[in-house]
Amino acid sequence: MILDWFVMKPKTPVMVGLDISSTFIRYLELSRQGQNFKVETFAQELLPEQALNETEIKDIEGIGKILSGLVKKLKPKTPYAAIAVSGASVITKTIEVLGTLKENEMESQIMLEAERYIPYPLSEVNLDFTLLGPSKKNPNNIEVLLAATRSEHIDSRIELLSYANLIPKVIDVEAFAFERAFSLIAPQLPNRGKDQTIAIIDLGNSITTLNVLHDGRTVYTREQLFGGGQLIDEIQRRYGLSFEEALSARKKGGLPEDYQSEVLNPHLDALLQQISRSLQFFYSSTSFTELNYIILAGHTATLPGIAEKCQKELGIGTAVANPFSSMSMASHINVPLLLEEAPSLMVCCGLAMRSYA
């Protein structure tokens, strides 16, 4: 069935961006004057271990209660929220249809095309599409972007938001949220990112995701089962700490002297091997032969020296993501915390920007 989750229509209301990772729930509200954004609200809460299994929400009630408490504390001005699905749970495909088709004919044709690419009965998925414009190969055709996911992934997010009386106005795709947030980073890059091939590498807790954009549009996405959670696990095991203690120690320091040489450096080496492997898959499966720049995102991107090590090992200019560098902040915002967490807030930022798409 086709539902208006992925595609935003004109005159959309202001929404909060809500990102649920395997370790944190993050909440962001932006306002805009002209082309300038302002952070109005930001908050995050740590989630219980195993609340999510990779991208699947396991403990809807537990996360829902945390979200409800967060919303009651923040008292948002809007009941609307944008949230995302990600990774292997989402199927995206660009297809072409005749541009002369009427709206109802085009929808029927797209549904027929969708059956070719979606490995589930259409009755079990939520599917949406957006028209990208005339085909470069055939001007008589229109390019259409399909996005589909199993209905259970949509239903779990709707149920989760209901705990906090939030209305799911948009359920987006994480890769598209990254693409939207990239527009805030592009001005910091050579030639403002124009005609450049840029890799955004999201270093998550259990999954590392490679998103490659060319001239600001996503051209490749790939996931690998490796992330910063393995570093936290090793800190817990080696130093006898709880999950929360290990997470705090990794962030604030205070670990024994052997942490750098025995724990952190081996993890960074393994991480760079995974990144290098992902890039090789990218080169071998596309027509691209080089990257112009790498942007590191996700919580693990806050590790000291990671960008410098990545640049040295891979020979590609590398920076840590900060989508807030040109934004103003409301007076009550904890600016040091926001900037510290900036690499982890790319998806949340991209979702909050849907209010102004």
The helix/strand/coil state of 197 is strand
Q: Please count the structural domains in the chain.
A: 1
Compute the average pLDDT of residues 181-187.
94
Distance CA 262, CA 253 (A): 15
Q: What share of the chain is helix, strand, coil (3-state, %, to 5)?
A: 40, 30, 30
Compute the average pLDDT of residues 134-151.
89
Contact at 8 Å (CB) between 294 and 318? yes
Instruction: Report pLDDT for 4.
Output: 45
Is 74 among the domain residues?
Answer: no
Distance CA 161, CA 18 (A): 10
Instruction: Report pLDDT for 11.
Output: 54
Classify the phi-psi angles of 305: left when phi > 0, otherwise alpha if psi is within -120 to 50, otherwise beta: left
Is 108 among the domain residues?
Answer: yes
Instruction: Kindly tell me if the per-residue pLDDT of 88 is higher than 90.
Output: no
Strand bridging mode 197-203 / 208-214: antiparallel
Looking at residue 2, the DSSP 8-state letter turns out to be: B
Contact at 8 Å (CB) between 261 and 286? no
Among 265, 323, 332, 260, CA closest to 295: 323
Compute the average pLDDT of residues 246-254.
88
Q: Which residues, in sequence order, are CB contacts of 329 under 8 Å at separation 6+?
A: 38, 39, 335, 338
Compute the average pLDDT of residues 299-324.
94
Distance CA 284, CA 220 (A): 12
Instruction: Kindly tell me if the per-residue pLDDT of 184 is higher than 70.
Output: yes
Structural domain boundaries, residue 140 = 89-151
269-308 tens-digit pLDDT: 999 999 999 999 999 999 999 999 999 999 899 898 899 9
Q: Which residue in the block uniquely carries the two structure tokens 């987006």?
A: 172
Instruction: Report pLDDT for 191.
Output: 85
Is 114 among the domain residues?
Answer: yes
Question: Which of 61-65, 80-84, 98-102 has the least mean pLDDT?
Answer: 98-102
Looking at residue 96, the DSSP 8-state letter turns out to be: E
Give me the chain's average pLDDT, please. 90
Contact at 8 Å (CB) between 63 and 57? yes
Instruction: Report pLDDT for 9.
Output: 46
70-79 tens-digit pLDDT: 999 998 889 9
Instruction: Report pLDDT for 54.
Output: 63
Is 10 among the domain residues?
Answer: no
Compute the average pLDDT of residues 4-33.
78
CATH code assigned at 105 = 3.30.1490.300
Question: Which of 53-67, 161-175, 205-219, 240-254 has the least mean pLDDT?
Answer: 53-67
Compute the average pLDDT of residues 212-235.
91
Going by pLDDT thresholds of 50, 70 and 90, the confidence category of residue 165 is very high
What are the helix (H) ranges across the chain?
60-74, 103-117, 151-162, 174-185, 229-239, 243-252, 265-285, 306-314, 335-340, 346-352
Classify the phi-psi angles of 192: left when phi > 0, otherwise alpha if psi is within -120 to 50, otherwise beta: left
Predicted TM-score of the model (pTM)? 0.89
Is 138 among the domain residues?
Answer: yes
Distance CA 17, CA 54 (A): 20
Going by pLDDT thresholds of 50, 70 and 90, the confidence category of residue 55 is low
Is 212 among the domain residues?
Answer: no
Is 126 among the domain residues?
Answer: yes
Instruction: Kindly tell me if the per-residue pLDDT of 174 is higher than 80.
Output: yes
Going by pLDDT thresholds of 50, 70 and 90, the confidence category of residue 19 is very high
Is 275 among the domain residues?
Answer: no
